Structure 1
């Protein structure tokens, strides 16, 4: 299942390890929304990518789209509460994030959703994680990316004021990068992984969420 990964020289000889979450850099998006970004939080990320690509029981899904059923343009796997994660480093990541954000979030991260973007044709459309509590409460979604960088784009929801950062913002994420979307971000902003042209290597994202947020 492993795709054609262009490995990072920084990761070639490093065992997987996580840095301090306190090094995150926060950007205020306005209207109570914010994002934290930490580049290469996970070292040895290419090894993690290879293990996940090979060992996770990836699923291809189909969904109703208007009057037809279409393939979901990425592979998926979801780990619910109390399910064993595929690698111990992911348990460690979830625990570190829970400890760091305990004061703001008030609860731990409990689930992990994995998405496998095999090439530039795989994508996810504009959306917010508003199924469940995220539709009416402030919450957080923390995303760890391994594999080749792909752009995560964010924009204000239609009709919302743009806030201090303007309109659409884009973050290329891969090779162990972390992004955390917090506050009102899921309600007042949307995010997407757009399709990309040219030779685009594979990327896996691991999304940690608290209970009742999808």
Structure 2
């Protein structure tokens, strides 16, 4: 069950400004992240609308010579597909307006993951299927619902960074981040509520 944020009791969903409200954190080897806390107002309400309104699916994938359940529910919206909620469409447009000039292209697709509890996770990886294997790019992640820790670590070795993301937070990974850093949402034994992450990617980045 989602325990709502005491700081976000809004009765409607709103998309805040970006601009100088975004904090850029330089990483190594040309990678960087941007963080904007509480970008989506009424994010717990948006979580409920997406949880109940999206056609979530469970997947199974081969791993280590066997087929296993993917430990989260998924939904992928390809280029041109309608957004699952008006607030998501507004957030998509705002991201394109803010990052489009720097990125040189729009965010084209929306992926969504529903982490039901601390047993759901995504292992260490970079989004390097497609153009991001060789090109700098951006992946924007909006988190609604309970906070979970997004961990980032350099592929070459070094200190792990951890960001607790939920309740409308935005984190954007840019530059060489997908090639030179890995990120993960690791399993946790600590009690935690459900979270939905929305990932906005350019064409050809998976």
TM-score range, shorter chain: over 0.9
TM-score (norm 1): 0.94
Helix, strand or coil at the partner of 1:178: strand
Helix, strand or coil at the partner of 1:5: coil
Helix, strand or coil at the partner of 2:199: strand
Partner Cα separation in structure 1 for residue 5 and residue 160 of structure 2 = 28
CA contact (8 A) 1:14 1:43 kept: no
CA contact (8 A) 1:63 1:69 kept: yes
Partner Cα separation in structure 1 for residue 132 and residue 174 of structure 2 = 10
Partner Cα separation in structure 2 for residue 53 and residue 161 of structure 1 = 37
Give the deviation of 1:200 after TM superposition: 1.0
Q: How does 1:41-60 map to 2 (within 5 A)?
A: 41-60=39-58
Task: Tell me the residue number matched to 2:4.
Answer: 7
Task: Tell me the residue number matched to 2:16.
Answer: 19
Partner Cα separation in structure 1 for residue 36 and residue 25 of structure 2 = 12
| Cα gap change, 1:161 to 1:122, in 2 (>3 Å) | closer
Say how many residue pairs are matched.
205
Is the aligned partner of 1:195 residue 2:192?
no
Task: Tell me the residue number matched to 1:169.
Answer: 161
**Deviation sequence 1:26-74 (CA, Å, 0-9, x none):** 1000110000000000000001000100010000000001111000000
Is the aligned partner of 1:32 residue 2:30?
yes
CA contact (8 A) 1:74 1:118 kept: yes
Which stretches of structure 1, 4 residues or more, deviate above 2 A after TM superposition? 9-14
CA contact (8 A) 2:10 2:41 kept: no
Partner Cα separation in structure 2 for residue 177 and residue 59 of structure 1 = 24
Partner Cα separation in structure 2 for residue 76 and residue 89 of structure 1 = 19
Give the deviation of 1:161 after TM superposition: 6.0
Give the deviation of 1:198 after TM superposition: 2.5
Helix, strand or coil at the partner of 2:72: strand
Partner Cα separation in structure 1 for residue 162 and residue 125 of structure 2 = 15
Helix, strand or coil at the partner of 2:59: strand
Pairwise CA RMSD? 0.9
Task: Tell me the residue number matched to 1:117.
Answer: 115
Partner Cα separation in structure 1 for residue 157 and residue 66 of structure 2 = 34
Q: How does 1:15-164 map to 2 (within 5 A)?
A: 15-22=12-19, 23-157=21-155, 160=156, 162=158
TM-score (norm 2): 0.97
